Each structure stands twice: as structure tokens, then as C-alpha cells.
Amino acid sequence: MTTRPIAVVGASAAGLAAVEALRRFGWRGPLTLIGDEHHLPYDRPPLSKQLLHGTWEPDRLLLRTEEQLAPLGLDLRLGTRATGLDVATRTLTLDGGEKLGCAGVIIATGVAARTLPGADRIAGVHTLRTLDEALALRGRLAGGGRRLVIVGNGVLGCEAAAVARELGHEVTLVGIEATPMAAAVGTEVGELLAEEHRARGVRLLTGAVDGFETAPADPAGTDPRVTAVRLADGGTPASGGVASGGPPGSGGVAAGGGEGSRLPADLVLLAIGSRPAVEWLADPALDTTDGLRCDAYCAAAPGIYAAGDVARWDHPVHGRPLRFEHRMNATEQGMAAARNLLAELAVTDPATGAAEDAPAPERRPFAPVPYFWSDQYDLKLQAYGLTAGADRVEATVLDRAQRRVLALYGRDGHAVGVLAAGIPPRQIRALRAVIATPLPWEEARERIGAATAAG
């Protein structure tokens, strides 16, 4: 039996799913889980909702306790960052200089929040990706009555705006896109969301960020504190991009120029998208363009797999590389990567440390039906399939007052995604079956109609 471990880099939902699946599928050798945060694996979607609101405490976000992890026999490396990977030898370099030779590696490092130049040196300017960041912002929102400017009107910005309004803060939501969440859900559904936010007292603006205004640090601080956000004159820059904040469509806001509006602010949240955490992967054998490029089996190279937000893999149903920053995908892909890695090792190296009495699993293409949800006020959006990048969207508002909506998303003549809000759970589940495989547009419309006809 080899002494080389399988290492999972990223103590995330995807990383946890991978280590649990490795044990479940028969790996009995050493198993290392590496995470750059000091926390046990936790759930991220509640950061911008229940945790920020204060209705949940951090321990409720834990995906597993220490006692629940103990039977896995992990070499758990929390507060440790992987800084390099030699693909040919499957050797990881850790931030302390340690070299870790591995039988296989699963990369589940997720994404990091984008920011703007100099923002990290201004008190009161926050990002919201990690538990510590969410707790820091929650602490600043305690007590109510703050002026919060949220830069970026994508999913994260909209969810945080809803929470802040419910806590009694004055909220301004600024984005390059004229309609909130338009890149993710389309203009029609985005307009319905805009109506809800305005009705709740959120100020919605379209513009490009030119910079921040600051005042001297408080006596207890060292960094200058934010007092306002400056918007460049003329709105969205001609490039349509995000010079300092993120790619087009991220919900971000560009750094611009000129004389524009000044938005007084006690706090600023930068919700301008994310970037895949691949900067540590410098080996030329890996393609790190928009995440770690993988085949249909989630393999980036022999013995090297990826899962979760960081993975961009060939989706066998949709026929193109996709990358999803969705919670459900993280768990499903972590399990798929584990299964396929073990199947590869069983074929290429019979002395991998797998249990002798465990049948070798077969490699299977990873072909999920994508699912995401977003909670804002009393509104819950749920979507199956691909909603971003559609070339055709048909949204039906079933009840404007109740924010009941059903939308179908198409690409190249086929329906590839569906979104609903205010629909009974039974009908929501039926929508998944309709969109599991892309259908001709008219056929999908008929099946969606039949699935939602009752109730």
C-alpha cells in the first residue's frame, strides 16, 4: 500500500463532498484536506442572508463538526495555503515550504471576491465571500441607521441589499447593468426584482465607480474611513467591461473618470463578482483560463481533478465548457471528481491504497442539471438549467403583486433553462425534468405549460 495521500485542496463544500466520497467509494489510504481558512468547512450561501441578518450564528453554518469528521481519518490542514502544484509528479507545495507528493489531487479552491484598487486600505469598505468577512460586515451593520452603498447589482449585491433594508439601513445599490441580476436571470425577471427592491426602499442606480472619499481614521483605527462613493459622469464606460472590478456581466462596476455623483456612505460593500482561485496553479500543463479547465470527467490532467466554483469542465449535455458558482453543483461535482479519480487510479496504479474488496468504480461524465436559488425579502427565485447567456428569454408574470413569475431561457433554438418564483414546490420540481435535456423551444414551452397547469 502506498504512503502517498490523495489531497483535496479547498476545505469547502466541494472539498468536503470529495473527501467523504473518497472514503465511501473505497479509498483507505492517507487523505489530506487543505484549507486556507482556519474554519471547518461551512456553508457559504447563508453568509449573505441568515448570517448577515443575525438570525444564524456561525456554528449553524458548519457542514460537519470535528466529531463528524473524525471517522474520515483526515490529515486536516486548516489555515494552510497551497502555493504550487507540479502536475507531472502530483506534488503540492504548501505555504510553509512543505512538499507533499500525492497519489491524486482534487482542487476545490473555489473563487475569491473581486475588489477595487486601494479598497483594502479603507475602513468601512467590505467584501463578502468568507465567514470572517461576513461577520465583520454584520458587526458594522449592528444597530441600524447606516448609509450602505452596495457596488454591484448581481445576486450577492441584491441579497445583501435585502438584508440591510430589513435591518433598517439606508441602502443604495449601484451597478453597471441597468437592471439588477440581468446577467443571471434576464431583463424581465430583473425588472420584477427591481420593483421589489424599490418598494422596500432601496435606491437603485446605474453607474461606474470613480473612487472613494475618506476621512481620517477613528482614534481606534489606522486606515482612513470611507465617507462617500464617487460615480463617474456618463454611467457605463464605453468598453462595457469592468476595469478594476470584474468581467462583463459580473454585476460589477468599473473604475471610471470624470466628474459624477457623490453617494454619502458609512459602509460600502463591493459585490462586483469573483475570480476563480487558480493563481497558485502555474504549471503550464494546466489551463487556468476562467477557472481550471477539465474534461467531461472533471479531470484537468492525469490524477488531477477539480470540483466546485473553480472547475470549468466539458458539460456533455450542453456540449461546451461551463463553470457554475452554485452550491448544489459544488457537492455533486465533489462526489463526481472523487469517483472518477479513484476509477483512474484503480486502472493506472493498482497499489493506490484502495480497499482490496471494493470494486473499482467506473469513470462517468459529470452531467448535472444546474440549480440555483436566491432569497430576497419574501421572494425566492429557483432556477434549473442555464439562465445566463441565453439568446432568448420568455418571462410570464403570473401575479405581479405576489411576484409570481415563470421564465424560459433558450440558446440556439433550444430551451436550456427555466426560472420560477412564487410557484408551488411540486411544480418547481416538475420543471427540472422538463429542462434536464435541451429541448426544441416550442416543445419545451408546451411541457412547461403542462407542468404548471394545475395549482
Mean pLDDT by 10 residues, the chain (455 residues): 86 98 96 98 97 97 98 98 98 96 98 94 97 97 92 97 97 95 94 95 94 89 92 47 32 42 96 97 97 98 98 95 95 98 84 52 91 94 94 90 91 95 86 91 92 69
Domain ranges of the chain: 6-110+277-348, 114-273, 378-451
Grid cell of 268 as nine digits: 460600502
The class of domain 6-110+277-348 in CATH terms is alpha beta
Return the CATH fold of 378-451: Enolase-like; domain 1 (3.30.390)
Decide: helix, strand or coil at residue 152.
coil
DSSP string, 319-344: TEEE----HHHHHHHHHHHHHHHHHH
CA 88 to chain centre: 30
Tell me the C-alpha distance between 388 and 108, whole Å: 23
pLDDT given for residue 236 in this prediction:
36
Model confidence pLDDT, tens digit, residues 1-26: 457 999 999 999 999 999 999 999 99
- Phi (first) and psi of residue 394, to 5 degrees: -125, 110
Domain 114-273 falls under CATH 3.50.50.60: yes
329 Cβ contact list (under 8 Å, min separation 6)? 308, 368, 370, 371
- Partner residues linked to 344 by β-bridges: none
DSSP code, position 297: T
Alpha carbon distances (Å) from 393 to 274, 349, 418, 421 = 25, 49, 9, 16
CB 24 within 8 A of CB 65: no
pLDDT given for residue 2 in this prediction:
55
Burial of 133 (0-12, 13-18, 19+ CB in 10 A): middle
pTM: 0.90
Instruction: Examine domains 6-110+277-348 and 114-273 and report if their fold is the same.
Output: yes
CA 70 to chain centre: 28
